[in-house]
Structure 1
Amino acid sequence: MNIAWKEIKKNKARFMILGSIIFLVSFLTFIISGLSNGLSQDNAAFIKDLPKGHFYMNADANETYNISKIDEQLADNILTDDHDAAALSIQMGFMNDSEDKQHSVAFVTSTESKLFESVQKGEVVLDRSLEEDGIKIGDILTNNQFSGEFKVKGFVDQKKYSHAPVAYINMENYKEIYRVNEMQLIFIPGQEDAKDFSGLQAFSNKEFLNTIPSYSAEQMSLNMIIWFLVVISGMLFAIFFYMMNVQKIGLYGILKAIGVKTISLFYMMWNQMLFITVIALGLSVALSQGFAKIAPSGMPFSLTVETSIQLSCIFLVIGFIGATLSGIQIKKVEPLQAIQQGEA
């Protein structure tokens, strides 16, 4: 460790450049990860907040929930056999406020269940994001396809679907708006294995998320960027330490000649990598967590401490691998040959 620290002090500029690059790459990774998690919540918080279970939709719907129709008799049989089950429907739509301003919403209705809000005819429970748009409890909202009016009964937190705030309405009102009688989905919580129902296709919570338009493509793109940045950081470590090792071939030869073991040279390199990475990651975590607190309320950004720790551990592992791969040449150094190269 003493040799490693002396080298860092001797070559401050080199190590500061590497540390700065690792800081920038890791900070960018944390920010994109926060955006990815935030968009995931904004896209599917309604589904992600449900307990583990299985969704069932019509097998003929080709995994497209909004065209699924479950036979009423089959739905009644399932709900009778399993009291925790619920039949529900989700459709995108809009509501007009008192000033005739349209607000995009995801209409949700369900049979009686503790998992979903229970509302009476002519009432609506909205995601709290609409409260920020000026809608208040007691306000009257309308829909062009509905003959009556909706009175705002209350608000719920973090209930988004396909980037739209959820609006819980009564089943009879839903049927009038969309001119349907059948429910789209059956949700049965607490199942380890999906049950087999004739004509229905089962989806776990995670699998059902991929039926939401844009969710899979959105998350895949952001996750690819995150992993590319992680791989790039590993390559930076490998290239940096490789160049450093090339310049120190003669020094390694002398150290080996006086009895320093190869593993000790690797320890020196690992200590340097750890020192740089810990400082860079510490700054990145602190700034990204600070950004999470000051980010605009309209920005879908969510970066938990657990996620930051997980990403930091990944960076440390990648840094260790990159530095180790670059140090393979240390093992091949022959003391006499290295000394004869004239590097000291």
Structure 2
Amino acid sequence: MFLSIQEIKKNKLRYSLICLVIIMIAYLIFILTALANGLSNANRQAIDSWNAEKIVLNSDANGLLDQSTITKQQAKQYPTNKRSDITQMSANVQKLNDGNKVGSQIIGLNKNQFIYEGLKITSGRTFKNDYEVVVDDSLISQDHYRLGEKVKFSRNGHQFKIVGTVKNNQLNVAPVIYASAKNVQSEKFGKNVRAMISAIIYRNDPKKTVSGTQVMGMEDFIQDIPGYSAQNSTFEFMIVFLLLITLVVISIFLYVLTMQKIPYFAVMKVQGVSNFYLAMNVISNAIILAVGGVAISALLTLLTAISMPTSVPMTFDPALMVFVSIMIILMSIIGALIPMRTVTKIDPATAMGGI
């Protein structure tokens, strides 16, 4: 380690450029990881907040909530214990005096069931009367809605009053708006078909499947959200590819530097310095560069997190960032192993003869 530090001090520009490349790659990996995590959460936050185990959908819905319809007769055949019926509707919410619209997910709830009872209100109160709604707080902070304001979901629909907010409740990267089941049924199906619901949510396993419906685990249901799996796979591929780029970059730079130092390593071998010590010098260089690069990129990521507007779906998970940092350092160490073979095979007589 001492030799590595002295070498880096003597060749500041050379090693600074290598460290800069690591900083840029690590920073890009951190940002992509945060973006992947944020988009993933924005797809499933509301579902996770329900703390449910199973969901019942129409068997023809292909696992999609917005295509599912369950009749009153089908719903009656399922057990009522630890159950919540929901009615889902995708709609554009808009203020009465403003033409701007915000895509949202409307979820109708029954007030005597567990999802309603589990709503964690961050401001205001939960809905108690007809045509009152509780909204995800992103609708307040990002889209400038406010408590007490009246909104509509369609041009000729009813007016709804915002009475409370909940935190981290998005679905399909859209804010969730909770209202009473009968109000959402009226908006979606019309007054004559209030018996229709979209899905039944269970905190346990209903242990039966009624004809015309399917029972899915919540994680399987989340994986079927349009674009969710493809999006996560894309980001994972990009992150893995960047880690491999880190491996290649470190290997190339250290190999070139090792080739340039062969005469000096030959002299050290003549003086009795072991191959192990010289090899550890190469690895130490990689560790110092990687740790320094990761530390600086982590600081840049922290500044980015502080300055990033809330409208950008990025979630900085410290545990995930630590894991990514360890992987970057590990890739750097593996990259340093490649030029080690060159170090161990240096022939002092041949190398010094070329000085």
Structure 1 length as normaliser, TM-score? 0.87
| RMSD across aligned positions (CA) | 2.6
What per-residue deviation string (whole Å, max 9, x for no partner) do you get for residues 235-275 of structure 1? 11111111112222333334334433322222111211111
Contact persistence 1:55–1:185 (CA under 8 A): yes
One-letter amino acid matched to 1:156:
V
The aligned counterpart of 1:289 is: 302
Tell me, yes or no, if structure 1 residue 75 matches structure 2 residue 75.
yes
* CA shift for structure 1 position 126: 1.1
Contact persistence 1:46–1:160 (CA under 8 A): yes
One-letter amino acid matched to 1:183:
I
Structure 2: runs of 5+ lacking an equivalent? 120-125
SS of the aligned residue for 2:13 comes to: helix
The aligned counterpart of 2:104 is: 105
* CA shift for structure 1 position 229: 1.7
* CA shift for structure 1 position 277: 1.3
* CA shift for structure 1 position 100: 4.6
Tell me, yes or no, if structure 1 residue 160 matches structure 2 residue 170.
yes
SS of the aligned residue for 1:320 comes to: helix
Contact persistence 1:69–1:183 (CA under 8 A): yes
* CA shift for structure 1 position 146: 6.5
Change in 2 beyond 3 A, CA 1:75/1:329: farther
Of the candidates 278, 281, 286, which is equivalent to residue 273 of structure 1? 286
Change in 2 beyond 3 A, CA 1:6/1:222: same
One-letter amino acid matched to 2:106:
F
In 2, Cα distance between equivalents of 1:287 and 1:148: 48
One-letter amino acid matched to 1:197:
T
In 2, Cα distance between equivalents of 1:337 and 1:52: 71
One-letter amino acid matched to 2:136:
D
The aligned counterpart of 1:89 is: 87
Contact persistence 2:279–2:344 (CA under 8 A): no
Change in 2 beyond 3 A, CA 1:43/1:250: same
* CA shift for structure 1 position 45: 1.9
SS of the aligned residue for 2:147 comes to: coil
SS of the aligned residue for 2:78 comes to: helix
What per-residue deviation string (whole Å, max 9, x for no partner) do you get for residues 119-161 of structure 1? 4422111112222434333322233377543222211112111
Q: How many residues align?
A: 338
Of the candidates 225, 244, 247, which is equivalent to residue 212 of structure 1? 225
Structure 1 vs Structure 2: percent identity of aligned residues?
Answer: 25
Contact persistence 2:91–2:154 (CA under 8 A): no
What per-residue deviation string (whole Å, max 9, x for no partner) do you get for residues 284-310 of structure 1? 111111211111232222213222212
Change in 2 beyond 3 A, CA 1:79/1:325: farther
Change in 2 beyond 3 A, CA 1:167/1:253: same
Of the candidates 131, 155, 167, which is equivalent to residue 122 of structure 1? 131
* CA shift for structure 1 position 54: 2.9
Structure 1 residues 2-81: aligned runs within 5 Å: 2-51=2-51, 53-80=53-80
**More displaced, 87-96 or 16-25?**
87-96
Change in 2 beyond 3 A, CA 1:95/1:17: closer
Tell me, yes or no, if structure 1 residue 241 matches structure 2 residue 250.
no
The aligned counterpart of 1:298 is: 311
Tell me, yes or no, if structure 1 residue 197 matches structure 2 residue 209.
yes
Change in 2 beyond 3 A, CA 1:110/1:24: same
In 2, Cα distance between equivalents of 1:29 and 1:339: 42
Contact persistence 1:146–1:176 (CA under 8 A): no
